[in-house]
Amino acid sequence: MVLLVMSSGGSKECAETIRRLTGEVVQSVRDLRAASDELRRAEFAAVVVDQQLWEQDSRLADSVSLSCGTAALLLANPAIARADRVAREVTAALRRREGELRRAREDAESWLRTELNEAVTGILLSSELALASPSLPAGAASKIRAVYELAMSIRARLQAKG
């Protein structure tokens, strides 16, 4: 979903052009205060703000900027940029955002996989050491063997996905 913050009469044309080119639902508001309210209510992929509105109130502009979260924030000047140009910029920003989110997700998965591999390695080593103990009771040995086998299964799944 795209939030369009524009007070000019061309906001309907711009919203329709963005919707047509991106396939995204476009929600329009007329000022930064309404934009701030909408950003608290819903998550947006992109926020397009009329540059003139942005420059009128730096406090509200900061609030909107902080409320955007992972949304791509674009400033547009509808007085000089036609609706199709704004829509193309939104399309490019959405592609960049998607790439950034994909890379962040891949980085998080990689980090988690590394952390889990380290923990599994610790479990495997501790299990092997415990199983090598000559005074280990048979009941405890079977339970440790079960833990060892589960850890091996987890390691195999982690390596298959890595």
pLDDT in tens, 48-101: 999 999 999 889 999 999 999 899 999 998 878 888 899 999 999 999 999 999
Give the pLDDT band (50/70/90) at residue 8: confident
Partnered with residue 4 across adjacent β-strands are: 28, 48
Q: Amino acid letter at 145?
A: R
Class of domain 2-104 (CATH, top level):
alpha beta
**Sequence-distant contacts of 112-116: CB under 8 A, at least 24 apart:** 113/158, 113/161, 113/162, 116/154, 116/158
What is the residue whose two structure tokens read 């992929």?
A: 45
Q: State pTM to two decimals.
A: 0.73
